[in-house]
Amino acid sequence: MLERFFSKPETVDRIRGCWLGSSIEDYVGWLVEEKYASRNVFRRVPLLTAFAAFSEARGIRDLSLLPTVIDDFVAERVRRSKPRNKRRRHELQKEIRSPIRHYLRHLDTRGLISLPQPPGPEIPFRKEAPEFFEFLKTVRGLKESSCYLHRHHLLFFERYLSRIRLRSLAALTPAHISAFIVSEGRRRCKQVMCLLCTALRTFLRYAYMKAVVPEDLSSSVPRPKTYRKSSLPRSITWDEVKAMLAVVDRRTPVGLRDHAMLLLIVTYGLRAREVASLQLGDIDWKRDRLHIRERKAKHATTYPLSETVGQAVLAYLQHARPETDQRRLFLCCLPPVRPVTHATVSMRVTKYLRKAGARVPRPGSHTLRHTCVTRLVDAGFSLKEIGDYVAHRSPVSTAVYAKVSMRNLREVALSDGEDML
C-alpha cells in the first residue's frame, strides 16, 4: 500500500522500519478504503514516522503509552518551527495534534490500544438529585431534546449557586432564586427566560418531592410575561433568496449539495431535520413526487417535485454525491463519508445567508421555512392550506403569518369593520 504513494524504495523501507511501521501501513490502507484524499497520506505518514522516532527516543515501544508523549512531541515540533505569532502557534499545534489523535483512534478501533472514553454530558446537581433526568424521561415522558434544555438551564443555576457559595440545596431560599433570575434576565430574551423558569420550577418540585429541599419553592419562580404572536416571522425577501442562491459555488461538490438543500427548504418549507433524513427512495423520479416521511406532526407528506428542485438534486447525484452504500440522500463530501446532520444543514444555510448579506435575526434553516410560508401568504393561499403544506401540527402555528399579509391587513384597516362581523 505504501508503494502506491511513495516511489522511492528507501522511503518505504524507512517507514516500515520504524517500530510503528506495520500500524502506519494499516492506517494508510484504512484511509484509502475511506476515500481520504492522497494529500492526507502524504501529510500524515511523515508526521507519524517522526512521532515513532520521538517516542522510541523516549524509551517507549508500547502502543498503550503513545498518548502520554503527544504533548511533548507537539511542543518539540512547534519549537523547531518557530511560529511567528500566537495564532500561527495555535494553528500549528492543531495541525500536528489532530492527525496523531486520528491515528490513535484508528488503533483503538482495531483493538490495539484502549483510549479513555470522552466524558459524558455534565449533569447538574448530580449528588443531590441523581435521578432527576431519569424522572424527566420515564415519568414526565420528555424527549432527549427537552431533557437537554433542562440540563442546559440548570447548569447555569448550579454554577450560580456555586459562585455565591451556597453549598447545599437545603439552604436555598426564594431570595436566591429571585437573584438568579434577575441576573440571567439581563442577558437573555423573554422566550429563553420562559424556558429557564420552566426548567427551574420542574426541578424545584422534584427536589421537594424527594425531600432535597424542606419546602416547595417552585411558586417563587416567576412566570415571565409573554404575548403570543407578538413577533414577526424571520423571513427574507425573494430578492434576498436569489442573492443567497447566487453566492453558492456550484462548481464544487459541496456547492452542488448545498444548492439542492437550500432549494428544498425554500420551496417546500422543510425543516432541517427533514432535509437531513431524506433517503434516495424518497424521490419518485417516474411520477415526479417528493416524499417527506416522519414529520414533526407524526405524518408523511407527498409533494409534486419541482423542476428546479429536481434538476438541483439530479446535478448533486450525478456530479457530487460520494459513491457509497449509504441510502441517505445528502452526505458529507469529505471522508469519512456519513450522512449530514440537521445541525449541518442549518449551519450551511446560516453561512450562505450571512455571505449574501441578508439582514435577519438568528439566520438559519427556519429563516427559509418562514420565507416559504410568507411567499404562500402573499400568493393568497388560506392559512389552512399553508398549514397543511408545511405540516404545522396546529392552526395556531400558522396564525402568526396573518400579520405578514399586508393586503389583508390593509383591507381590515380601511374597512368600517362590518366585514369582520
List the catalytic residues. 271, 296, 366, 369, 392, 401
**Hey, which bits of 68-133 come out as E strands?**
none
Cell 462548481, located at residue? 251
Q: How far is CA 242 from CA 105, 153, 171, 309, in A?
A: 43, 38, 58, 14
| Cβ density class 360-391: b for 16+ within 10 Å, e for less | eeebbbbbbbbbbbbbbbeeeeebeebbebbb
- Count of helices and strands (H, E) across the chain: 18, 3
Of 103, 326, 358, which Cα lies nearest the Cα of 243?
358
Cell 409573554, located at residue? 226
What letter would DSSP give residue 339? Answer: B
Q: Are 297 and 284 in contact (CB under 8 A)?
A: no
The pairs formed by 298-304 with CB atoms below 8 angstroms and a separation of 24 or more are: 299/391, 301/391, 303/268
Peptide bond into 336 cis (omega under 30): yes
Q: Are 239 and 342 in contact (CB under 8 A)?
A: no
Q: Are 382 and 288 in contact (CB under 8 A)?
A: no
Q: Are 401 and 374 in contact (CB under 8 A)?
A: yes
What strands, in cross-sheet order, belong to the sheet with 289-292? 283-284, 289-292, 301-304
Tell me the chain's radius of gyration from C-alpha atoms.
Answer: 28
φ, ψ at 289 (rounded to 5°): -130, 145
Q: Which three cell numbers stand for residue 249?
A: 459555488
Helix (H, G, I), strand (E, B) or coil at 289: strand
Dump the DSSP string for 179-240.
HHHHHHHTTS-HHHHHHHHHHHHHHHHHHHHTTSSSS--GGGS------TT-S------HHH
